[in-house]
Structure 1
Amino acid sequence: MSEFSASFDASPFETTLAFADVEPGEGQRWTTWPSVTPTERGPEPRPSWVVTSAGALDTEFGILKTGKEADVFLLERAVPDDPAQRTLLAAKRYRGSDHSSFHRSSVYTEGRSTRNTRDARALAKKSGHGREVAAIQWSFAEFEALCRMWELGAPVPYPVQVSGTELLMEFIGDANGTAAPRLAQMRSDRAELAGFYAQIAEIMRVFAAAGFAHGDLSAYNLLVHEGRVRVIDLPQIVDIIANPQGLDLLHRDCVNVCDWFTRRRVDCDAEELFAELLAASYT
């Protein structure tokens, strides 16, 4: 089990699961792992905590976060009567039925293509099918971004699987289901904040060296868990070369991050950081 995942020793969730008849109960379903293709599963080697048994049950424990485009739920995937095969997951579900709830700007999708011509037409018309296609595209875009960044060693949640509009990923938090706080929620002294900034700058360098910018980086999509910063919410990740506005979005990330830290008396310079990231992207 990775250092970021939950431990289930004496888990309080064990008492909530009724496995006497080994059938899904309220708020449960059979694991969706067997129904997804290998390309819809996280990169190998997989962390040891990933439960791949077809006999596992998924149990939902409520919502972790609501958003304009997606909601995130706390999920436990567990094999009945086998404490060694259970883990907490974050289930991110994109909305597609209500266009008014989906505000992702097309600025992020420049440079991307849709192979299916019917889907492309539906997207252009913003039909019901088009909205569903858009939601699926965002879930797959985030899954692919997480896979890429995980393989590069960036501190992102491990992407377990993607299926339609649902993305399952590593839950960053404790064994009781309490999510790690966002950076914006931290009440840290100046020295600790300076350490967080150094970690974030390094994360941005990893992205830039691979040719990408987060595109929407702020203190609200950076988590702090056990002293380490984790970056989340990657569906809008942009190729800083292929996307005509890629460099502008990279610069905006630098400004957003440095403005937040500057207000907390941490020395940082957005233009200097931007220059460093540009240099990293061309090496």
Structure 2
Amino acid sequence: MKIPKRLQPLVDDGLIDEIVFQLQSGKEAQVYVVRCGSELRCAKIFKEASKRSFKQAVQYQEGRQVRNSRRARAMSKKTRYGQREQESAWLNAEVDALYRLSSAGVRVPEPHGFVDGVLLMEMIVDEEGGPAPRLDDVKLSEEQAIEYHHRIVVDVARMLSAGLVHGDLSEFNVLVGREGPVIIDLPQAVDAAGNNNASRMLLRDVDNMRRSFGRYAPSLLNTDYGLEIWSLYEAGELYPDYPLTGTFDRDNASVDVSDLLEVIEDVREEEQERRRREQEQDEEDRDLSQ
């Protein structure tokens, strides 16, 4: 196929040998399957900020450190240079998160480099060796749902132990690969210690997973993994592979349960509103394409 303009430098430098096909064209990025030597990988091309629907909300950027004082001032003043630097920081966030989480044992695509705004990473495959489907596109048995939900919850806890919260985890950001679920799309990942919205985002992430897998395993709808994980984190007791139970003792909690429950309710309302906006945007996109 014709080489996309953004991938041409990587082809010229020998990092990509062949563009096989376009895998996805979403609101935030385009993803191509490419051949690198004997391996098939994915090349993710991020769209320009003005063309993305995810607008780098302030709540996601809070807590991200910029060491260079000149860059920090420019970004805060939103100068042209500052906007370029902010965009660069946003794109690099996913790369940094992938390397950090991969090292922490979280099942994410293995990164293979970030060049000229293009992220090269592992291609997640299904049983037949083709591109793995999103969680939203598969049907699971009750047993599979319970197993996959457990893996995701463990990975969420590992992420938090590594200091990160995904921030936008849903059935659209999980691939069902040959060996199980894989978490993807991390440019909005937030610093758990430095972001005041971290607890809200983690509870939303876990609640999204609870409801998604709960469609196939109703028993999961009665679990409290989000509250359990965050309370352990706040108490300094969370560590990778902590034996989670999915229960939370509200009577003897070391955190303010009423505040957390209010957060959960707010999270659910926010998620309903977000899904409504996404549906409206999808309808607009379909109308424009006709």
TM-fit CA distance, 1:120: 4.2
Structure 1 residue 160 displacement after superposition = 0.6
1:3-40 CA distance string (max 9 Å, x none) = xxxxxxxxxxxxx9xxxxxxxx956746579xxxxxxx
- Residue 240 of structure 1 is matched in structure 2 by 192
Q: 2:218 aligns with which of 257, 261, 266?
A: 266
**Partner residue in 2 for 1:91:** 43
Contact 2:203 2:227 in 1 (8 A): no
Amino acid at match of 1:223: L
SS in 2 for 1:202: helix
Correspondence for 1:139 among 87, 91, 94: 91
Matched, 1:165 2:124: no
Higher-helix-fraction structure: 2
Q: 1:114 corresponds to which residue?
A: 66
Alignment of 1:152-231 (within 5 A): 152-173=104-125, 178-231=130-183
C-alpha spacing 1:132/1:61, structure 2 compared with 1 (3 Å): farther
Number of residue pairs aligned between Structure 1 and Structure 2: 233
The equivalences for 1:40-55 within 5 A come to none
User: Helix, strand or coil for the counterpart of 1:162?
Assistant: strand
TM-score by length of 2: 0.69
Does the Cα contact within 8 Å between 1:69 and 1:102 map onto a contact in 2?
yes
Contact conserved, 2:113 with 2:120, CA < 8 A, in 1? yes
C-alpha change, 1:242 and 1:26, in structure 2 (3 Å) is closer
Q: 1:126 to 1:71 in 2, by over 3 A?
A: farther
Q: How has the CA–CA distance of structure 1 residues 189 and 76 changed in structure 2, closer, same or farther, with 3 Å as cutoff?
A: same
Taking only aligned residues, the RMSD between alpha carbons, in angstroms, comes to 3.0
1:61 counterpart = 2:20: yes
Q: Could you tell me whether the CA contact under 8 Å between 1:96 and 1:134 is conserved in 2? A: no
Determine whether 1:76 maps to 2:28: no
User: Aligned with 1:267: secondary structure?
Assistant: helix
Question: 2:48 aligns to what SS in structure 1?
Answer: coil
Contact between 2:10 and 2:115, CA under 8 Å: does it hold in 1?
no
Alignment of 1:254 with 2:216, yes or no, is no
1:173–1:274 distance in 2 versus 1, CA, 3 Å: same
Task: Describe the superposition over 1:60-106 as per-residue Cα deviations: whole angstroms up to 9, x where unpaired.
Answer: 2332222322222222122xxxxxxx211211122226366552212
For structure 2, the residue ranges without an aligned partner over 5 or more in a row are 238-290
Partner of 1:13: none
Query: Which secondary structure does the structure 2 equivalent of 1:234 belong to?
Result: coil
Q: State the secondary structure of the residue aligned to 2:22.
A: strand
Whole-Å Cα distance in 2 between the matches of residues 270 and 253 of structure 1? 16
- What is the DSSP-based 3-state SS (H/G/I as helix, E as strand, rest coil) of the residue aligned with 1:242? coil
CA distance in 1, matches of 2:86, 2:111: 20
Paired with 1:68 and 1:204, the residues of 2 have a C-alpha distance of: 25
Amino acid in structure 1 at the alignment position of 2:142: R
Q: How far off its partner does 1:125 sit? A: 5.7
CA distance in 2: counterparts of 1:270 and 1:106, whole angstroms: 33
Deviations 1:190-212 (A, max 9, x none): 12111111111111121122232
**What is the letter of the counterpart of residue 193 of structure 1?**
A
Distance 2:93 2:179 in 1: 28
